[in-house]
Chain A
């Protein structure tokens, strides 16, 4: 492309064809005022404030939409331009209420800023009253459209960024305004309260709901959202030690100006009155406040006693996939070098162990293989067992953008209707638990129809022949029979995926929490390699439940891996660490989270240190977990709140929230992002890193770090892909890795042609039917999944005032046919009974559910995991928490009846 040169305010400047005058001016350091422009949105030229003059013909051009053309002589500030701009601004002010003094937008108001810039105080024009205020009953967003300047940013953000379509233009002339379908209030519309529109609104027309005037933030801190694995960059507006608003960072490569309801409105748990403010120690069954010195010396003494009496392996540590990389690193170093055991695990065991095992077996790497940009660029996106709109919204946004604006074809594989299914070219609804049969069937079909990427398979993979042979059983007829998906749909899906220029596969907990989870992930990897989509084009996207699930595992908070997935049995690796840590390391693999609970039940493990996790809610059979943990001699819990778990502890250590500490999180795609301190910790609570280091000191083995920077340096040395160059590579996709030791395994965050082991390996996996409990009268399959306004074990989201206010009570969805068959309706109370437990809940009819399937959103009043068996899958040592067989009993006024 040849550059075009124009004269801008007398200076020749060049840009590529298609560049707008505004962009070129900004690049050249020339300021042009704007109101409706946003770097993440398609420019529309609505506000006309960016008008500039072409001196050749005197034409006024809206610079945000006018592309440069050869010979242009642009003046951005001629008297005529300035005069026009002022008039336009006056017009806007004339139709804007005079309530600036009491407007919450305050100095953040862009209209006000522009008026100040142009020196406009009084407007001689007639006041034009604007439409009335809409009363919103939701706890998140308040719209006062009398302040709307019709820049259309909210509408564009809704349609172009989050692709929700909840709002659009309504009416004509001065009556025009952004409105929901039929102009209903937001809470009755399609709105998901992601807050993206709030972030882009230049005036006070769309605001986060505040009960009182909170004023303007004194500082804004850029940090990372602590909820899901997307790792959205957020801006925290801080005033008087409080977060007064949360905004998406417009430039973040992850969320690009978007956020979800949890990120936008769910971070107020930081200010919950429930926060623990000082260490607690249990005396005679009751907690009393104490000092750090006392608390830590008790903990250190008891741990050392148990170690001495019963051996190091009588201790167990369960760390948090919510904590920073530095904290996880320190925790595993403490566990291994001070406590002397490998009994360490983290919360991601429950959700993502299958990815580590499955992708590790096939690709030699443990997670997502591409960036969100790769995903958005894909021509075919294959989503299986995932509802990213709820569990990982930023990924859903990227998928919807790819479909809506880039012509991608979406295949959704889910028995349940999800928000993505309406975007899908193909929606397959397999019977729960038959994914491996489906994936194998698709692979066989692609091979049989000779649609595989032969060149890729030949050059990049091995074991193809053996694997292909293993598929012989998965004939179309059999797969149709097993999955319930018609042959023609199977063919369509296979052809679409195999024909894709760039195909991406996205999977979530629907895959990773099923009984054969590792096998299912392997089947996904096989399919991706077969179609040439692993790494080179497209990729595999493994959704992560928690913000730092990736990082916690990378840091070695695992019983069977040292930091950077170095094998425990690798003598060299152990030796390197022993020299650095001045200790000797055990080569015996430790216990996983669930195994520690079982060991506690058996009396083998006697003391536990639990950080930021709540096994009594998040694990199957909570009542049994409680019983098991009660047998421990000593439990220490570090948490922000006095959770069910903390209530059981002997000592509770108050932990700082994400907003009160420094560090890094690694998101689902391996991007390492900085977490910045915005607030002072509540009370005398401390960041987990500080707690661990003080505990190490109290235990007589202080760690040689005086700052987090030093911790980070050690991580960079030990975990090669945390080396700054590799980390930058993950962020930018720049393949220049000359600084990094290329010989170490797993030193690449993303693939650029080569697998870590040189070859990807096809691994045969077989479909095994879920043991049929339906014979016992458990004729329904209960499926559980995330909820939009709640998160995880609900420790934080239940303490967010706004999220809590908006969440409905717990309920069970049932298809109309099944409800009819049982003689129940949408308000019936029922008892859900599995082979393992039971619970009471209300019914809700959901017509899109297939017959025989029940659905329950997670993390309301909890208790749903009582229904699930505490059986561990062999490969992942994780429980299957997606589906279980149940039966329903209708509860009548006085008794029960079936």
Chain B
């Protein structure tokens, strides 16, 4: 698998440290330096120290992989480096304590290929991520990079490229799932001398990082994909619209553009053909709505990023009024593989209507957080329970939210649903750009809906009324419900207004913003009802609806809770059962945390009041029996 990378390194044994954003924040830059130092100090020859982009298994970061054998180290630190060098490289004995441990069995797994998180994935988009040095074009070329572009420029007409894409069945990975080939065809057919090719890398979903990792780990794939797309539609200029909050991705993309240009893969008369193409990088200023294509184009034009009504679609009137194609990072990263290996090969993966693979940023209450790429049609259960390793701490699964902040929350009985555009939409959620947030039984679904809506509400551009004011109305109602002031009519109001916003909003942000609310209403209506009618939060998350009590028969009057209470709401005395003043309590939960486990005297309840004494009473301690000594 990493033969190519090894080739780039002169076939030496190589240790690759991950330098994706996650691992870099885990000090992988320092780790790389320490490793180099150790190798030099210990006089090891025949070992290269190199780095890659994101491996996707960020939960285990910083990670490192030793090739060609494929030993996978997790949670490495600067301090581990001398040991790896000495034990592994000098003495040929890999460091077992740094191996990945299976969360279920606890068994250490030395080889990358044996780890379920990886073995069950099928990596097309992320094929090079974690395997090549993203800052070296030779690595990319060694993996077959730019073969597709060569083929396109030498053997194919733009029409043939479009036909191939159409046949592959690739659909836009940005969320809407429109046929990429058709999109190119519209733009190709649109009259105009000047056309633009835009890569939408404005990944704004909270917790999603698949586009970032792709650009950090394999920027040239995206650039090659864009170049092929530009050839197909007839564009001579392109833009990569990338979040300024992704400094590493920006840096690597800029470097990759420079390298590609130096090698003649970009610029004038690419590879000796008549095709010329240039790419500019435009850094976005952090507005979520700029991921919407018309807002994105407005932003490139230097205007405020606000969506406009379509039609006209970008294919006929896009950037500066010229025909424009906008594709997501992942769609473009797929293009070179489709060209290189053929549409039929690609279409053999996936379902009838959704071909190929999709990438999810798996996060939330799940053992293996990270990036996973799976074939379309895979069941949610497989992603969550097997690749994701299930819910940690033996907790029960409650819901999974797909598609970013405007996706829907699906309950357990949807776990056997195949993952594809149609099924997710039918279930009230969406594919979106690939966020996947897993929630366990301790998650309050009303609170989750409130959280996601507060995000979309704040990120609304404010242009159209339903999205600007409607989401705010819904949010206020949700806040009210979470605050214990819900009214019976609120459920209907949320439902009606949600549908109104979906039908009446201008862009996809408003059209999908109510999804988390509508799906939780659909699948977890009982939780809403509990909040409204019983003033009870079943997950005991909504602070206004929970109460903390000290159980008189368990309290041993140790006083720890009273000392830690930040608002002095707990009263008690020596050998007196402590009492929480409910008026003063701010429900921070500190008392519950600090109460010694052997007593477990604090309890948290919702929807009811416990009949405990209001004033401290003497503790009921069974006195140790004193045996009379005769």
A41–chain B nearest beta-carbon distance, Å = 14
B304 within 8 A of A: yes
A147 within 8 A of B: no
Q: Is the CB of B463 within 8 A of A84?
A: no
Return 16 A-B CB contacts under 8 Å, by A number: A44-B308, A44-B463, A47-B465, A48-B465, A51-B504, A91-B465, A92-B465, A92-B469, A95-B472, A126-B477, A128-B469, A169-B463, A173-B459, A173-B471, A174-B462, A176-B463
B219 within 8 A of A: no
Q: Is the CB of B477 within 8 A of A173?
A: no
Q: Is the CB of B462 within 8 A of A176?
A: yes
Q: Is the CB of B459 within 8 A of A91?
A: no
The interface residues of chain B lying within 8 Å CB-to-CB of A124 are 493
B296 within 8 A of A: no
B578–chain A nearest beta-carbon distance, Å = 40
The interface residues of chain A lying within 8 Å CB-to-CB of B468 are 150, 173-174, 176
Bound Cα distance from A94 to B506, whole angstroms: 20
Nearest B residue (CB) for A155 = B304
The interface residues of chain B lying within 8 Å CB-to-CB of A47 are 464-465
The interface residues of chain A lying within 8 Å CB-to-CB of B458 are 172-173
Q: Is the CB of B309 within 8 A of A173?
A: no
Nearest A residue (CB) for B459 = A172
The interface residues of chain B lying within 8 Å CB-to-CB of A88 are 465-466, 500, 504
The interface residues of chain B lying within 8 Å CB-to-CB of A152 are 463
Q: Is the CB of A66 within 8 A of B309?
A: yes
Bound Cα distance from A125 to B466, whole angstroms: 13
In chain A, positions 237-253 with a C-beta closer than 8 Å to chain B are none
The contact of A150 among B287, B459, B462, by CB within 8 Å, is B462
Nearest A residue (CB) for B507 = A45
Other than the given A172-B459, A176-B468, 18 more pairs (CB < 8 A) read: A46-B463, A46-B506, A48-B466, A84-B500, A87-B500, A88-B465, A91-B466, A91-B470, A150-B462, A172-B287, A172-B458, A172-B462, A173-B457, A173-B458, A173-B468, A174-B468, A174-B469, A175-B462
Q: Is the CB of A172 within 8 A of B477?
A: no
Q: Is the CB of B472 within 8 A of A173?
A: yes
In chain B, positions 438-470 with a C-beta closer than 8 Å to chain A are 457-466, 468-470
A168 within 8 A of B: yes
The interface residues of chain A lying within 8 Å CB-to-CB of B469 are 91-92, 94-95, 128, 174
A675 within 8 A of B: no
A171 within 8 A of B: yes
A67 within 8 A of B: yes
A523 within 8 A of B: no
Question: B interface vs A, CB < 8 Å?
Answer: 287, 289, 304, 306, 308-309, 311, 457-466, 468-473, 476-477, 480, 493, 496-497, 500, 503-506
A217 within 8 A of B: no
Bound Cα distance from A503 to B334, whole angstroms: 51
The interface residues of chain A lying within 8 Å CB-to-CB of B466 are 48, 88, 91
The interface residues of chain A lying within 8 Å CB-to-CB of B496 are 87
Nearest B residue (CB) for A177 = B462
Q: Is the CB of A48 within 8 A of B462?
A: no
Nearest B residue (CB) for A53 = B503
Bound Cα distance from A84 to B457, whole angstroms: 20
Nearest A residue (CB) for B506 = A45
The contact of B457 among A94, A126, A174, by CB within 8 Å, is A174
A891 within 8 A of B: no
Q: Is the CB of A173 within 8 A of B464?
A: no
Nearest B residue (CB) for A87 = B500
The contact of B460 among A48, A62, A125, A173, by CB within 8 Å, is A173
Question: A interface vs B, CB < 8 Å?
Answer: 44-49, 51, 60, 62, 65-67, 84, 87-88, 91-92, 94-95, 124-126, 128, 149-150, 152, 168-169, 171-177
The interface residues of chain A lying within 8 Å CB-to-CB of B309 are 44-45, 62, 65-66
A183–chain B nearest beta-carbon distance, Å = 15
A156–chain B nearest beta-carbon distance, Å = 12
The interface residues of chain B lying within 8 Å CB-to-CB of A169 are 304, 306, 461-463
The interface residues of chain A lying within 8 Å CB-to-CB of B308 are 44-45, 65
Q: Is the CB of B504 within 8 A of A60?
A: yes
The interface residues of chain A lying within 8 Å CB-to-CB of B477 are 126
Bound Cα distance from A525 to B371, whole angstroms: 71
B466–chain A nearest beta-carbon distance, Å = 6
A53–chain B nearest beta-carbon distance, Å = 10
Bound Cα distance from A169 to B468, whole angstroms: 13
Bound Cα distance from A67 to B469, whole angstroms: 26
Bound Cα distance from A124 to B490, whole angstroms: 11
Q: Secondary structure at chain B's binding surface: helix, strand, loop or mixed?
A: helix
A92–chain B nearest beta-carbon distance, Å = 6
The interface residues of chain A lying within 8 Å CB-to-CB of B506 are 45-46, 48, 62
The interface residues of chain A lying within 8 Å CB-to-CB of B304 are 168-169
Bound Cα distance from A67 to B463, whole angstroms: 20
With contact pairs A66-B309, A87-B497, A91-B470 given, residues A172 and B465 touching in the complex (Cβ less than 8 Å): no
Interface centre among B306, B465, B471, B473 (most CB of A within 10 A): B465
Bound Cα distance from A51 to B464, whole angstroms: 12
The contact of B476 among A60, A128, A150, A168, by CB within 8 Å, is A128
Nearest A residue (CB) for B306 = A169
Q: Is the CB of A173 within 8 A of B462?
A: yes
Nearest A residue (CB) for B308 = A44
The interface residues of chain B lying within 8 Å CB-to-CB of A176 are 460-463, 468
Bound Cα distance from A168 to B463, whole angstroms: 12
A268–chain B nearest beta-carbon distance, Å = 36
Nearest A residue (CB) for B456 = A173
Nearest A residue (CB) for B463 = A46
The interface residues of chain A lying within 8 Å CB-to-CB of B464 are 45-48
Interface centre among B308, B460, B473, B506 (most CB of A within 10 A): B473
A769–chain B nearest beta-carbon distance, Å = 46
Q: Is the CB of B311 within 8 A of A172?
A: no
Q: Is the CB of A60 within 8 A of B503?
A: yes
Bound Cα distance from A848 to B469, whole angstroms: 46
Q: Is the CB of B504 within 8 A of A174?
A: no
Bound Cα distance from A94 to B477, whole angstroms: 13
The interface residues of chain A lying within 8 Å CB-to-CB of B473 are 91, 94, 125-126, 128
The interface residues of chain A lying within 8 Å CB-to-CB of B470 are 91
Bound Cα distance from A66 to B496, whole angstroms: 25
What are the 8 closest A-B residue pairs judged by CB atoms, nearest first?
A: A176-B462, A65-B309, A91-B469, A45-B309, A173-B458, A174-B472, A173-B460, A87-B500
Q: Is the CB of B306 within 8 A of A48?
A: no
Interface centre among B496, B503, B506 (most CB of A within 10 A): B503
A678–chain B nearest beta-carbon distance, Å = 37
Bound Cα distance from A87 to B463, whole angstroms: 17
Bound Cα distance from A49 to B506, whole angstroms: 12
The interface residues of chain A lying within 8 Å CB-to-CB of B472 are 95, 128, 173-174
The interface residues of chain A lying within 8 Å CB-to-CB of B289 are 172
B100–chain A nearest beta-carbon distance, Å = 42
The interface residues of chain B lying within 8 Å CB-to-CB of A91 are 465-466, 469-470, 473
A798–chain B nearest beta-carbon distance, Å = 41
B290–chain A nearest beta-carbon distance, Å = 11
Bound Cα distance from A177 to B460, whole angstroms: 12
Bound Cα distance from A128 to B472, whole angstroms: 8
A258–chain B nearest beta-carbon distance, Å = 22
The interface residues of chain B lying within 8 Å CB-to-CB of A67 are 311
The contact of A172 among B460, B476, B493, B497, by CB within 8 Å, is B460
Bound Cα distance from A168 to B305, whole angstroms: 12
Bound Cα distance from A95 to B457, whole angstroms: 15
B192–chain A nearest beta-carbon distance, Å = 15
Bound Cα distance from A47 to B466, whole angstroms: 8
Bound Cα distance from A48 to B493, whole angstroms: 20
Q: Is the CB of B465 within 8 A of A171?
A: no
Q: Is the CB of A46 within 8 A of B465?
A: yes
A791–chain B nearest beta-carbon distance, Å = 35
Nearest A residue (CB) for B460 = A173
Nearest A residue (CB) for B287 = A172
Bound Cα distance from A394 to B457, whole angstroms: 40
Nearest B residue (CB) for A174 = B472
The interface residues of chain B lying within 8 Å CB-to-CB of A49 are 465
Bound Cα distance from A84 to B306, whole angstroms: 23
